[in-house]
């Protein structure tokens, strides 16, 4: 009987100790390695005020990169003015040679550098990647006499100066779309009656208030008013439809394609490995499912292009923009 009791106690002790022993054994095994962040910290420089499109892209990068473990912390710096031309010199001078820095910018900076005759341009920074694109929309008040883009184009052909159109900064994507459209109608782009506004709010008020005949801006600026029936969207400027119910200029027989693209750039003076590290980071970010989900949620078109391909695109875009701005009388 005593031997049976000893046996039971031994079995009970073994069962109690087994989990601890197993845990000790597992603790001694190598754990699956967790990927280290690609950057401990990134300085995000936005050459615009908080709340705009470039700032929104920067914050989106932060959100997805931190959740995906690519970057531990971000530091933001916003310096707005003149289509990015106030902030650009600051980024160039203060972040030179610093591989933990990114500038958020886009197509507006290309035109702003040319029209403002800036001593600095995107040629002075290191192209990393183009990330998103947004087509411009041409809209009119719901009670406008222009029922479709054909009627609007006919009015421009008859007398461009009689058709004031609201948009963003002079020389920006909105202005360029109008100039290209007038040129496609066989008229001089210099005759464009473009009314520039500093923000979307004042431009919207001018369109709804009948102070202008039409407006051009990113689709996101107008989509809610279009859905509410206060504005009528005549066309968009991308290669494909942004909204299934709104035709593109190209499919309407007008050879005009232009988008407001946004991307990121490194500072000047980077060593090749520093530049490549930034490209690898943005490429990894773009590959995350969370990034694709964010694009869908925000309504942004995925327009990813990295490294040398982005650099080639940028050179071509600069030539095209300069040509249009010359037509508009905004470049020498």
C-beta of residue 176 within 8 angstroms of C-beta of residue 258 = yes
- Please give the model's pTM, rounded to 2 decimal places: 0.80
Give the dihedral sign, CA 205/258/175/130.
positive
pLDDT tens digits, one per residue of 202-237 = 899 999 999 999 999 999 889 999 999 999 999 999
CA angle 71, 263, 314 (to 5 degrees): 140
C-beta of residue 307 within 8 angstroms of C-beta of residue 172 = no
pLDDT tens digits, one per residue of 160-214 = 999 999 998 888 899 999 999 999 999 999 999 999 987 778 899 999 999 999 9
CATH code 3.40.190.10 region(s) in the chain: 135-252
- CA 140 vs CA 96, 143, 168: distances in Å: 45, 8, 16
8's CB contacts (< 8 A; 6+ apart) are: none
pLDDT tens digits, one per residue of 276-328 = 999 999 999 999 999 999 999 887 899 999 999 999 999 999 999 999 999 99
Level-2 CATH architecture, domain 39-132+259-328: 3-Layer(aba) Sandwich (3.40)
The stretches of the chain forming alpha helices (DSSP H) are: 2-27, 53-67, 87-94, 107-115, 149-158, 173-184, 200-208, 219-227, 272-287, 289-298, 307-328
Asked if pLDDT for residue 18 goes beyond 70, the answer is no
CATH code 3.40.190.150 region(s) in the chain: 39-132+259-328
C-beta of residue 313 within 8 angstroms of C-beta of residue 107 = no
CA angle 104, 242, 141 (to 5 degrees): 100
Query: Domain 135-252 belongs to what topology?
Result: D-Maltodextrin-Binding Protein; domain 2 (3.40.190)
């Amino acid at each position: 009987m005593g031997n049976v009791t000893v046996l039971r106690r031994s079995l009970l002790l073994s069962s109690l100790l087994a989990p601890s022993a197993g845990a000790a054994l597992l603790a001694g095994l190598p754990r699956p390695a967790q990927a280290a962040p690609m950057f401990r910290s990134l300085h995000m420089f936005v050459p615009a005020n908080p709340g705009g499109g470039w700032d929104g892209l920067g914050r989106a990068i932060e959100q997805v990169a931190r959740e995906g473990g690519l970057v531990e912390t971000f530091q933001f710096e916003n310096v707005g003015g003149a289509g990015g031309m106030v902030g650009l010199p600051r980024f160039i001078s203060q972040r030179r040679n610093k591989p933990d820095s990114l500038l958020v910018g886009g197509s507006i900076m290309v035109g702003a550098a040319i029209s403002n005759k800036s001593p600095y341009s995107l040629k002075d920074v290191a192209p990393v990647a183009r990330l998103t694109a947004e087509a411009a929309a041409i809209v009119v008040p719901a009670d406008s006499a222009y029922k479709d883009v054909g009627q609007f184009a006919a009015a421009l052909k008859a007398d461009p100066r009689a058709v004031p159109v609201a948009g963003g900064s002079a020389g920006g994507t909105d202005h360029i779309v109008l100039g290209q459209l007038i040129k496609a109608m066989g008229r001089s782009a210099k005759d464009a009656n473009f009314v520039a506004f500093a923000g979307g709010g004042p431009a919207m008020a001018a369109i709804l208030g009948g102070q202008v005949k039409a407006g051009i801006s990113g689709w996101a600026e107008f989509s809610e008013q279009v859905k509410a029936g206060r504005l009528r969207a005549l066309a968009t400027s991308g290669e494909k439809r942004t909204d299934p119910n709104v035709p593109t200029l190209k499919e309407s027989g007008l050879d005009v394609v232009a988008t407001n693209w946004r991307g990121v750039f490194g500072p000047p003076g980077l060593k090749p490995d520093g530049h490549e590290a930034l490209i690898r980071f943005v490429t990894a970010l773009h590959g995350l499912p969370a990034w694709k989900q964010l694009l869908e949620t925000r309504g942004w078109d995925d327009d990813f292009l990295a490294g040398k391909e982005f650099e080639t695109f940028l050179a071509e875009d600069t030539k095209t923009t300069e040509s249009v701005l010359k037509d508009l009388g905004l470049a020498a």
